[in-house]
């Protein structure tokens, strides 16, 4: 086992900042803590000689002020380990269920990109085709040409919709239902961020439009195509797009959001929430086992043919809006390690839930996690997420 050192912690902190995972609040938490449940018998997860002590320690002691539960799956050449800790919900204090489903947030984009690239392989879409031709009337007539490729690699410049980010407004509107067309129109009330193809800025809007393209080309709802193209062929039993449904089907841990009210912090149960504000960009529900199965098959070329799969590992040659290099490909994020290797990652956050995946290109090292963070849409790195990332990197 490799030892966690300053280099590993520095990389983990930098990675956490890039991923946009979040920070703990200042909530005083008095609930009893739980031990880590070792699930070495998880499907397809053979222990081998892997010593998971760093990861087990990273998620021990939940619930606390930062998170109420966590589950992690890690695969290395030495073996595989899956573990869970925390509680299903604060009222019952029952342990978090094994193989729990969760909201994956922006990990959805990896699925969406894969489906678009499947359609490209089938010659039903062209990455260089314009959105204006494929979806006539969606964008204004005088809008600069936006390509399918630019939707996927965040270089479209399409503006995002503006809604209040105040948590009380979000809670009051969490059951609202939005259509993708509404979201595009709301976004277009704002000026475009930049000319298409000149910069990169990570947003949801390109993937919301990509979801509309999938529906237009196939003639089927996004959820149907997700099931037909990915979930059923790979045997994913926990993966689905919820549509208008507010709840998570099947076993799951509740998500909570810390809210400051009248000088004290309350934990509000945010498990039930409409995901229609992020269709095809952040709405999928899945599990660790399903994410690992999908990631393994995807990287091995069993989901997207090799000719199109290369797009997922190719960065656009434009700067990020921050001035740095582009980091985002179609559905993934590149994170170069000091030894010259690259981790291909994707994370997501919805209120109450943080999720993430990471893999080397050859798939020999893979990590999937879900954390029911108490501030999943915050601005800084979640303490639990930071520990998980550092522990995982110590085994790389």
DSSP per residue, 228-263? IIIIHHHT-SS-B--TT--SPPSSBPPPEEEEEETT
The CA–CA distances, whole Å, from 68 to 27, 59, 81, 254, 390 equal 12, 10, 21, 8, 20
Residues 6+ apart with CB under 8 A from 119: 125, 213, 214, 217, 218
Around 295, how many Cα atoms within 13 Å sit in the side-chain half-sphere? 32
Find residue 336's DSSP bridge partners.
342
The residues assigned a catalytic role are: 106
Q: Mean pLDDT throughout 111-130?
A: 98
- Round to whole Å and give the CA distance between 197 and 200: 8
Residue 377 lies in a domain: yes
Residue 30 has pLDDT above 80, yes or no: no
The pair of structure tokens assigned to 77 is: 């050449």
pLDDT of residue 29: 41
pLDDT (tens digit per residue) in 181-232: 999 999 999 999 999 999 999 999 999 999 999 999 999 999 999 999 999 9
310: helix, strand or coil = helix
Question: Does pLDDT of 28 surpass 50?
Answer: no
Question: What are residue 76's DSSP bridge partners?
Answer: 79
The pTM of the whole model exceeds 0.85: yes
Contact 171, 270 (CB under 8 A): yes
**154 part of a folded domain:** yes
Residue 332 domain-assigned? yes
Residue 341 within a domain: yes
Domain count, the chain: 1
Would you state the structure tokens that stand for residue 185, as one six-digit string? 């129109």
Q: Which domain holds residue 43?
A: 6-393
* pLDDT > 90? residue 256: yes
213: three-class secondary structure by DSSP: helix
| Count of other CB atoms within 10 angstroms of residue 174 | 17
Domain holding 208: CATH number? Answer: 3.40.710.10
Tell whether 1 is covered by a domain.
no
* pLDDT tens readout for residues 148-182: 999 999 999 999 999 998 999 999 999 999 999 99
Query: What are the DSSP calls for 149-206, one per residue?
Result: HHHHTT-S-PPPP-----HHHHHHTTT----HHHHHHHHTTSPPSS-TTS-B---SHH
DSSP bridge pairs for 193: none
| pLDDT band per the 50, 70, 90 thresholds, residue 36 | confident
Two structure tokens written together for 130:
């314009």
Residue 39 binned pLDDT confidence (cut-offs 50, 70, 90): low
CA distance linking residue 346 with residue 352, whole number of Å? 18
For 27, phi and psi rounded to 5 degrees? Answer: -65, 130
pLDDT in tens, 62-119: 999 999 999 999 999 999 999 999 999 999 999 999 899 999 999 999 999 999 999 9
- Residue 332 clears pLDDT 60, i.e. is over it: yes
Angle at 365 between CA 364 and CA 369, to 5 degrees: 140
C-beta separation of 331 from 346 below 8 A: yes
pLDDT exceeds 70 at position 4: no
Cβ neighbourhood burial of 61 (10 Å; 0-12, 13-18, 19+): middle
- What pairs with residue 344 in β-bridges? 334, 359
Q: Mean pLDDT, the chain, as a whole number?
A: 91
Look at residue 339 in the predicted model and tell me its pLDDT. Answer: 85
Question: Can you name the residues that pair with 350 across neighbouring β-strands?
Answer: 353
- Kindly report which listed range (37-41, 265-269, 311-315, 378-382) carries the lowest average pLDDT score: 37-41
Task: Please check the confidence at residue 24 and state whether its pLDDT lies above 60.
Answer: no
């Amino acid at each position: 086992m490799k030892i966690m050192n300053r280099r590993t912690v520095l990389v983990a902190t930098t990675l956490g900042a890039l991923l946009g995972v979040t920070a703990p609040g200042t909530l005083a938490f008095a609930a009893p803590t739980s031990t880590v449940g070792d699930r070495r018998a998880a499907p397809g997860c053979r222990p081998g000689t892997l010593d998971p002590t760093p990861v087990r320690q990273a998620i021990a002691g939940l619930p606390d002020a930062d998170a109420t539960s966590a589950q992690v799956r890690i695969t290395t050449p030495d073996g595989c380990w899956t573990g869970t800790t925390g509680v299903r919900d604060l009222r019952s204090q029952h342990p978090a269920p094994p193989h729990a489903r969760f909201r994956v947030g922006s990990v959805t984009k990896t699925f969406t990109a894969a489906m678009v690239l499947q359609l490209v392989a089938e010659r039903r879409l062209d990455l260089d085709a314009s959105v204006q031709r494929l979806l006539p009337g969606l964008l204004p007539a005088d809008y600069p040409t936006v390509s399918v490729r630019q939707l996927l690699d965040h270089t479209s410049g399409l503006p995002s919709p503006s809604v209040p980010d105040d948590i009380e407004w979000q809670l009051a509107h969490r059951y609202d239902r939005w259509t993708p067309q509404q979201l595009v129109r709301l976004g277009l009330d704002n000026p475009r961020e930049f000319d298409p193809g000149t910069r990169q800025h990570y947003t949801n809007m390109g993937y919301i439009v990509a979801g509309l393209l999938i529906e237009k080309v196939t003639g089927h709802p996004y959820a149907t195509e997700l099931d037909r193209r990915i979930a059923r062929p790979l045997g994913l039993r926990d993966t689905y797009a919820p549509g208008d449904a507010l709840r998570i089907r099947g076993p799951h841990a509740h998500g909570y959001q810390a809210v400051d009210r009248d000088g004290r912090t309350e934990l509000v149960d945010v498990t039930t929430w409409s995901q229609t504000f992020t269709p095809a960009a952040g709405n999928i529900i899945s599990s660790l086992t399903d994410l690992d199965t999908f990631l393994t098959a995807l990287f091995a070329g069993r989901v997207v043919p090799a000719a199109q799969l290369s797009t997922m590992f190719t960065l656009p040659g434009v700067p990020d809006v921050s001035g740095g290099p582009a980091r985002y490909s179609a559905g993934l994020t590149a994170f170069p390690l000091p030894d010259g290797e690259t981790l291909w990652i994707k994370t997501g956050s919805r209120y109450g839930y943080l999720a993430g995946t990471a893999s080397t290109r050859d798939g020999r090292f893979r990590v999937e996690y879900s954390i029911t963070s108490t501030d999943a849409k915050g601005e800084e790195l979640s303490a639990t997420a930071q520990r998980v990332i550092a522990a995982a990197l110590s085994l790389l």
